[in-house]
């Protein structure tokens, strides 16, 4: 009897442990490829996709003491498999090699023209905010992959500006940039820069006079981990970290109420704290769905978190009250970093992020189907399911995600061990048909063997399919001294080079979740069998 009781105890312990990890639902078939293997890749990557479904990536090439801004593009119409998962599908070019280039962010307008905001750190403690644009119609090959295709300029050079930047474009193709000003370090300011293309000198925002800049918030240590998006009325929204309080914050400007219509005055902006529970607001990424509802992915106390505001239900209609927001912990079982969020045509949020194991990191993807969400807003843990995209080496850093018109997620990321730029694309796996239900035969007293088998099978299925509990804008990582509660910077681990996979992703993460569920299932079946034996022996 002691053996039976022991089996029951182990079953319960392993089952509880397994349920603390997210369910790994492999809904996508993933192709991954190394885009640039020249080494010395600096951490930040950023991906965008044009109206033809062609992915474009901005990233840095860092060979001390210099750093270059680079650009990669894949024309899917001529790619080998039509999904850019072969190294030969990509072309890369150096956009700016003057000085020391840091992080970057990329956006694409409706005419498929890429625009990049980036940080120039040539002079320490005197960084500049810069901008690059390419007119694809005027480019040599139509793909912006020649040096002469690009125009660059310095947007702001006053002080130490351009940190933690992000870029978006409105419906007219006018770029907007969020960034941090650390001139008065350790105090940081949140800033905003915009260019009205219709009023710019050459129509492409390549002149300093085309731009306006303003301080959005300067109260304390704010403006870190910024991310920017616009709603259907081209109103800009910014998510960011209040480093002084370790809070997630949100800023909104109603252009119709702005004096100039450009949100270029501090008074044009409203700011609000979204989440103040613990150390939250790191690696923020923002996107809007239909009706202009903002959705934010971020890290808080090591967890992947998600925040959403339904504007139609918000107090003032612009999400500027804390009560307007709902937040949820999506993944809680492992340390998370570098979140990036995108949305598909159905308004379903998708998040790419790194799952850190203290020795290396995996690239993970999680998504929520609104139609299956309890509230329709993806604000409960069970609404989300995750799958591991890449585990080969130390991957998952500075993940950035975009979604094409067919709802295919595309992710750029950094292989830290090899210092390579990588890319992943997902396509939906066809649903497995549900087998017809077995016909049950009633028996007055089933044999003991049949009882044990049926009970074990039922328990195994239930245990192996728990409710999903799943625990997106690359930036520089602040030191833990500057921002208490920040995740420590991972130690770089040299990883032998490996050929990147070009087919579907294999089984989910091999470190714990999938085999834990199998073990839990097997032990559950054994435990139930033991329970039946115990009860019969006592009877």
Q: What is the pLDDT along the chain (539 residues), one digit of tens a residue?
A: 444 344 433 343 334 334 444 445 468 999 999 999 987 776 789 999 999 999 999 999 877 667 899 999 999 999 999 999 999 999 999 999 988 888 999 999 999 999 999 999 888 889 999 999 999 999 999 999 998 999 999 999 999 999 999 999 999 999 999 999 999 988 999 999 999 999 999 999 999 999 999 999 998 899 999 999 999 999 999 999 999 999 999 999 999 999 999 999 999 999 999 999 999 999 999 999 988 999 999 999 999 999 999 999 999 999 999 999 999 999 998 899 999 999 999 999 999 999 988 778 999 999 999 999 999 999 999 999 999 999 988 898 899 999 999 999 999 999 887 889 999 999 988 766 656 555 444 434 343 333 333 333 333 333 333 333 333 333 333 333 333 333 333 333 333 333 333 333 333 333 334 334 344 444 444 443 444 334 444 44
d(CA 122, CA 98): 8
Q: Give residue 3's pLDDT.
A: 43
Radius of gyration of the chain, Cα coordinates, nearest whole angstrom: 25
Q: Measured at the alpha carbon of residue 63, what is the angle toward residues 57 and 67, in degrees to the nearest 5?
A: 55
Q: Measured at the alpha carbon of residue 493, what is the angle toward residues 224 and 409, in degrees to the nearest 5?
A: 55
Q: Give residue 437's pLDDT.
A: 56
Q: Give residue 124's pLDDT.
A: 84
- Is the sign of the CA dihedral 104, 206, 35, 510 positive or negative? positive
Q: Give residue 26's pLDDT.
A: 60
CA distances from 307 to 216, 231, 284, 297, 381 (A): 21, 16, 10, 7, 12
CA distances from 197 to 15, 147, 452 (A): 58, 23, 72
Packed helices 513-538 and 448-464: angle between N→C axes, nearest 10 degrees: 150
Beta-carbon neighbour count of residue 436 at 10 Å? Answer: 6
Number of helical (H) and strand (E) elements in the chain, helices listed first: 3, 28
CA 152 distance to own-chain centroid = 27
Check if the beta carbon of residue 226 is closer than 8 Å to that of residue 271. Answer: no
Q: Give residue 122's pLDDT.
A: 87
Q: Which domains does the chain have, with CATH numbers?
A: 22-428 (2.120.10.10)
CA 487 distance to own-chain centroid = 16
Q: Give residue 438's pLDDT.
A: 53
d(CA 208, CA 60): 23
Beta-carbon neighbour count of residue 199 at 10 Å? Answer: 12
Check if the beta carbon of residue 324 is closer than 8 Å to that of residue 315. Answer: yes
Q: Give residue 40's pLDDT.
A: 76
Three-state DSSP at 278 gives coil
Give the DSSP H or E segment for 424: strand 420-428
* CA-based nearest residue to 25, from 527, 530, 514: 514
């Amino acid at each position: 009897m002691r053996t039976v009781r022991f089996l029951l105890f182990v079953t319960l312990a392993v089952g509880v442990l397994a349920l603390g990890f997210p369910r790994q639902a492999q809904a996508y078939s993933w192709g991954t490829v190394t885009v640039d293997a020249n080494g010395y890749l600096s951490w930040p990557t950023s991906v965008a996709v044009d109206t033809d479904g062609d992915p474009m990536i901005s990233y840095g090439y860092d060979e001390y003491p210099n750093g270059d801004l680079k650009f990669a593009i894949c024309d899917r119409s001529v790619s080998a498999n039509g999904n850019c998962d072969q190294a030969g599908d990509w072309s890369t070019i150096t956009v700016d090699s003057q000085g020391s280039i840091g992080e970057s962010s990329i956006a694409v307008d409706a005419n498929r023209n890429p625009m990049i905001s980036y940080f120039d750190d040539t002079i320490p403690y005197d960084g500049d905010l810069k901008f690059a644009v390419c007119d694809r119609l005027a480019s040599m090959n139509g793909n912006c992959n020649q040096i002469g295709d690009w125009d660059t300029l310095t947007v702001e050079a006053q002080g130490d500006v351009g940190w933690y930047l992000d870029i978006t474009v409105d419906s007219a193709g006018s770029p907007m940039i969020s960034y941090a000003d650390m001139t008065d370090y350790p105090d940081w300011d949140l800033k905003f820069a915009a260019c009205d293309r219709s009023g710019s000198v050459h129509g492409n925002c390549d002149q300093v006079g085309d731009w306006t800049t303003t301080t959005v918030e300067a109260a304390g240590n704010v403006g870190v981990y910024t991310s920017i998006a616009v709603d259907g009325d081209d109103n800009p929204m910014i998510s960011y970290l209040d480093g002084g309080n370790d809070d997630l914050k949100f800023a909104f400007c109603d252009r119709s109420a702005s004096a100039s219509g450009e949100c270029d005055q501090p008074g044009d902006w409203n700011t609000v704290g979204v989440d103040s529970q613990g150390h939250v607001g790191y690696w923020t990424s923002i996107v809007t769905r239909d009706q202009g509802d903002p959705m934010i992915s971020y890290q808080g106390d090591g967890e992947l978190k998600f925040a959403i505001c339904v504007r139609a239900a918000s107090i003032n209609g612009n999400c500027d009250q804390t009560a307007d927001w709902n937040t949820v912990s999506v993944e809680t079982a492992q340390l998370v970093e570098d979140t990036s969020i995108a949305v598909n045509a159905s308004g379903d949020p998708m998040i790419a992020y790194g799952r850190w194991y203290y020795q290396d990191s995996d690239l993970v993807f999680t998504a929520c189907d609104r139609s299956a969400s309890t509230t329709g807003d993806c604000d409960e843990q069970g609404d989300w399911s995750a799958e591991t995209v890449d585990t080969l080496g130390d991957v998952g850093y500075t993940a950035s995600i975009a979604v094409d018109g067919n709802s295919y997620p595309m992710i750029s990321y950094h292989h830290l061990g090899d210092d390579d730029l990588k890319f992943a694309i997902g396509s939906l796996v066809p649903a497995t048909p549900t087998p017809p239900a077995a016909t049950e035969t009633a028996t007055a007293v089933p044999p003991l063997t049949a009882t044990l088998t049926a009970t074990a099978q039922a328990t195994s299925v239930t245990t192996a399919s728990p409710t999903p509990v799943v625990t997106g804008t690359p930036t520089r990582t602040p030191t833990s001294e500057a921002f208490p509660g920040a995740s420590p910077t991972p130690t770089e681990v040299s990883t032998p080079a490996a050929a990147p996979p070009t087919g579907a992703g294999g089984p989910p993460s091999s470190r714990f979740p999938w085999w834990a569920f199998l073990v839990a299932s097997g032990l559950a079946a054994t435990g139930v069998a033991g329970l039946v034996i115990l009860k019969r022996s006592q009877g």
